[in-house]
Homo-oligomer: A and B are copies of this chain.
Amino acid sequence: MSKTITVWNEYVHERNHDEVAEIYPDGIHAIIADALADRGFETRTATLDEPEHGLSEEVLDGTDVLTWWGHAAHDEVEDEVVRRVKERVLDGMGLLVLHSAHFSKIFKKLMGTTCGLKWREAAETERLWVTNPAHPIVDGIDEYIELPEAEMYGEHFDIPEPDTLVFNSWFEGGEVFRSGCCYQRGRGRVFYFRPGHETYPVYHDDDIQRVLANACDWAAPNEDGPDIERGNSEPIESIDTSDERSVH
């Protein structure tokens, strides 16, 4: 059965700035959703302006993987929605965190760090080198992806060391960046993917779209993981439980 992807976008720049609207006339969410639909996923979109930012319990319950793009309006995302998304990720929903969403509330909450970095807008060359050629996320990709016009993000990127590092970026101006980072949090798989600035046509790139699709496949939850019990538990072995000391 095909996986259901919810593509979230704050959808601010595209409506406020002509140069962005020219590249993404229907919003960044539209092109991402189309790219994923073309590759066999069920997709829907959600944006900041919708009630509950389009991320009701019902929507999230029906979502296998959520992709997140934000930049100018991180603070406008309601804490209650962030809490809900986080709960769903810990429960197994996949999460793709895109570009400037490194500073989104949800990513910072899942990482526990500041997620700060260097940046520069100079339409410079980026080359994303594959550092793990066996990872499913790079299936069908060459040994690097070259973007002629990119915003620079540079180290030190304040994240926990990734569980797996998939891409490592070179920038024309002299910096490097860990640009494809895999994490597990609870039962959820999280992929941070650096490319994607609003003033450059990065999401039109076929390789970038393929990475997004691969990452959705990778991040989708398992069919049938173990039921986990937590809290006060009876012993499995036969042991003496007569000790009464407790301040609970």
Contact = CB atoms under 8 A, between A and B. Distances in A.
B160 A183 contact: yes
Count the copies: 4
B245 A19 contact: yes
Contacts of A223: 139-140
A184 B155 contact: no
A173 B134 contact: no
Interface string A172-197: 11111010000111111100000000
Contacts of A19: 245, 247
Contacts of A243: 121-123, 149
A216 interface: no
A112 interface: yes
Interface string A85-119: 01000101000000000000000011111101111
Most B Cβ at <10 Å: residue of A120, A121, A168, A187:
A168
Interface string A185-219: 11111000000001110000000000000000000
A20 interface: yes
Interface string A229-247: 1111111110111010111
A161 interface: yes
A174 B247 contact: no
B124 A245 contact: no
A29 interface: no
A66 to B, nearest CB: 16
Contact of A158 (B135, B141, B186, B236): B186
A164 interface: yes
A58 interface: no
A73 B66 CA distance: 35
Interface of A: 13, 16-17, 19-20, 72, 86, 90, 92, 109-114, 116-124, 127, 129-136, 138-143, 149, 152, 154-158, 160-161, 163-165, 168-176, 178, 183-189, 198-200, 221-237, 239-241, 243, 245-248
22 contacts: A13-B247, A20-B247, A118-B232, A121-B246, A122-B239, A122-B243, A123-B243, A124-B235, A124-B239, A127-B176, A129-B155, A129-B176, A130-B228, A131-B178, A134-B184, A136-B222, A143-B227, A154-B233, A160-B160, A160-B185, A174-B235, A198-B247
